[in-house]
Amino acid sequence: MRARGWDELDVLIVTGDAYVDHPAFGAAMIGRLLERDGWRVGIIAQPDWRSADSLQEMGRPRLFCGITAGNLDSMVSNYTAARHKRREDAYSEGGIPGRRPNHAAIVYAQLCREAFPGLPVVLGGIEASLRRVAHYDYWEDKLRPSILVSSKADVLVFGMGETQAREITRRLASGQDLAGIRGTARLLGARAAAETDFGNHLRLPSWEELQADPKHLLTITRIVEREQSPYNGRRLIQPHGSRALLVESPAFPIGQAELDALYELPFVRAPHPSYRERIPAWTMIQDSITVQRGCPGGCTFCAIGMHQGKFLTSRSRESVLKEIRRRTEAPDFRGTISDLGGPTANLYASENGEDPACKVCRRASCLHPTICSKLKLDERETIDLMRAAREQEGVKHVFIQSGIRMDVALRTPGYVRELVRHHVSGHLKVAPEHLHPEVLRRMRKPAGVFEEFQRMFERESDAAGKEQYLVPYFISSFPGCTDHEMGAVEHFLRRSNWNLQQVQDFIPLPMTPSAAMYVTGLDFDTGKPIPIVRNAGDRQRQMQAFRPNPARARRPVPRGRSSGRPPVPRGGQGWESFDS
Domain range list for the chain: 11-183, 287-553
pLDDT of residue 19: 97
Has this prediction a pTM greater than 0.85?
Answer: yes
d(CA 486, CA 477): 8
State the pairing for strand pair 155-157/184-188.
Answer: antiparallel
Where b means 16+ CB within 10 Å and e means fewer, 510-522 reads bbbbbbbbbbbbb
**Helices assigned H by DSSP within 341-395:** 356-360, 379-390
* 98, burial (CB in 10 Å: exposed 0-12, middle 13-18, buried 19+): exposed
Identity of the amino acid at 136: Y
The pLDDT tens digits for 335-370 are: 999 999 999 999 999 999 889 999 999 999 999 999
pLDDT tier, 552 (very low <50, low <70, confident <90, very high otherwise): very low
pLDDT of residue 558: 40
**Helices assigned H by DSSP within 253-378:** 256-263, 280-285, 304-307, 317-328, 356-360
CB 111 within 8 Å of CB 47:
yes
Is the sign of the CA dihedral 455, 459, 464, 467 positive or negative?
A: positive
> Residue 273: CB partners within 8 Å, gap ≥ 6?
none
Identity of the amino acid at 1: M
d(CA 41, CA 31): 6
**Helices assigned H by DSSP within 256-412:** 256-263, 280-285, 304-307, 317-328, 356-360, 379-390, 406-411
pLDDT of residue 546: 76
pLDDT tier, 495 (very low <50, low <70, confident <90, very high otherwise): confident
193 closest CA partner among 248, 246, 121: 246
Q: Which fold has domain 287-553?
A: pyruvate-formate lyase- activating enzyme (3.80.30)
Domain 11-183 architecture: 3-Layer(aba) Sandwich (3.40)
CA gyration radius, the chain: 23
Cβ count near 334 (within 10 Å): 9
Residues of the chain with pLDDT > 70: what percent?
94
Across-strand partners of 143? 136
